Amino acid sequence: MVKLIVCVKRKPGMSVQEFHDYWRTKHGPLVKSVPGCRKYIRNTCSATPSAAYERKRRPFDGIAELWFDSLADVDRFLADPEYLAKGEALTNSPSPIIPTCVVCDARRR
């Protein structure tokens, strides 16, 4: 198994609530719609943030975990034409997110 870890940050000007709503209702369903992803978990920061969170002290607003059978499946997922087309449409929407990705080998040693 391979786990793709995606750290996401809201774009400047986006409120915390807008970010959580967008990720839950638009981006999350898009990710789930692409074949090859065995498991998808969204880990969000509190929807009722502390003062420190509002002052942008946290480097990310959430972390997504996407699980795949192989690196080839990750490559197919990220290159899927439907995902890319939908992703581009979402990126051009008023509430995009900024991703940073890391791929981890999730096999037990």
Residues in the chain: 109
* Residue 105's pLDDT band (cuts 50, 70, 90): low
pLDDT, one tens digit per residue, over 41-65 is 998 876 555 555 555 566 778 888 8
Rg (CA), the chain: 14
* Residue 24's pLDDT band (cuts 50, 70, 90): confident
User: Is 2-105 CATH 3.30.1050.10?
Assistant: no
For residue 8, report the phi and psi dihedrals to the nearest 5 degrees: -120, 145
Please give the Cα distance from 41 to 47 (Å, whole number).
Answer: 17
* Residue 69's pLDDT band (cuts 50, 70, 90): very high
- The structure's pTM equals 0.71
Q: Is the pLDDT of residue 74 over 50?
A: yes
The residue extents of the domains of the chain are 2-105
